[in-house]
Amino acid sequence: MNKTIEKLLSHHSVRKFTEKKLTTEQIHTLVKSAQAASTSSYIQAYTILGIKDIEKKKRLSELAGNQPYVINNGHFFVFCADLYRHEIIGENEDGDVIDSLESTEKFMVAVIDAALAAQNTVVAAESMGLGICYIGGIRNNLEAVSDLLELPDRVIPLFGLAVGYPEEETGVKPRLPLHHIYQEDRYNSDPGRIMSDLEEYNKTVSSYYEARTNGKRNDRWTSQMAAMLSNKKRMYMKDYVEKKKFNKK
């Protein structure tokens, strides 16, 4: 196993960073790494915003659920799906692009493009000894985030990414069994097989929490998931993305 893979396998989110800021050179290396990721038909359907303004960071932290690590980090990125430049290209090149831009297909393309770029940023950051935490919490209120960052239509923020020098490390969280997440040639949808795999995984997850909390927690993964999904969060999303002219057709 090589060093890159060792690093991938030791990934864990970092939620407490030192005050040390990333240099412009480091930020540019991270963005170049992001850009080197594959992109569907060369479309490059994303924009990366870096947030330095402290007032904007404070507001983003409030909007995302008051996580202090949205403010206190080495740098904060917001990854956006972006088809705005492609609309302008359509106008300038006499292209009939609007139906494509507003399709669910291109919504998926833009989300995938942005996510591939983000994960390259993460790999690059961790290879430099930095830690990261994805911030899905900005999706609590995307209208306000969009206003704060002055985003036009056809640009939507997908998630934040806090990057910085780790002050506190966390443990590597156990993942679903490999034979459960990975299957060959066909999908085995038998519910009995699935629950049996998940009961095995529940034991792993419970042991992980017990060890990490000195016995105070022993959550099962399936009950965590049932509770999380029973909480109907961000149900405004369908209307929001359509209003921003994604996912309409």
Nearest distance from C-beta of residue 66 to a second copy, angstroms: 17
**CB of 72 or CB of 107, closer to a second copy:** 107
CA distance 34 to 120: 5
Is the Cα torsion angle 7, 11, 13, 16 positive or negative in sign? Answer: negative
Nearest distance from C-beta of residue 100 to a second copy, angstroms: 4
**CB of 18 or CB of 140, closer to a second copy:** 140
CA distance 201 to 177: 7
Nearest distance from C-beta of residue 131 to a second copy, angstroms: 12
**Tokens at residue 104, please?**
């669910």
**CB of 23 or CB of 224, closer to a second copy:** 224
User: Is residue 28 a contact partner of residue 161, using CB atoms and an 8 Å limit?
Assistant: no
Closest CA to 34 of 42, 43, 46, 20: 46
**CB of 16 or CB of 249, closer to a second copy:** 249
Nearest distance from C-beta of residue 197 to a second copy, angstroms: 8
Is the Cα torsion angle 141, 142, 144, 149 positive or negative in sign? Answer: positive
**CB of 72 or CB of 133, closer to a second copy:** 133
Using only C-alpha atoms, the chain has a radius of gyration, in whole angstroms, of 20
**Tokens at residue 53, please?**
């303004």
Number of residues written out for the chain: 249
Nearest distance from C-beta of residue 221 to a second copy, angstroms: 7
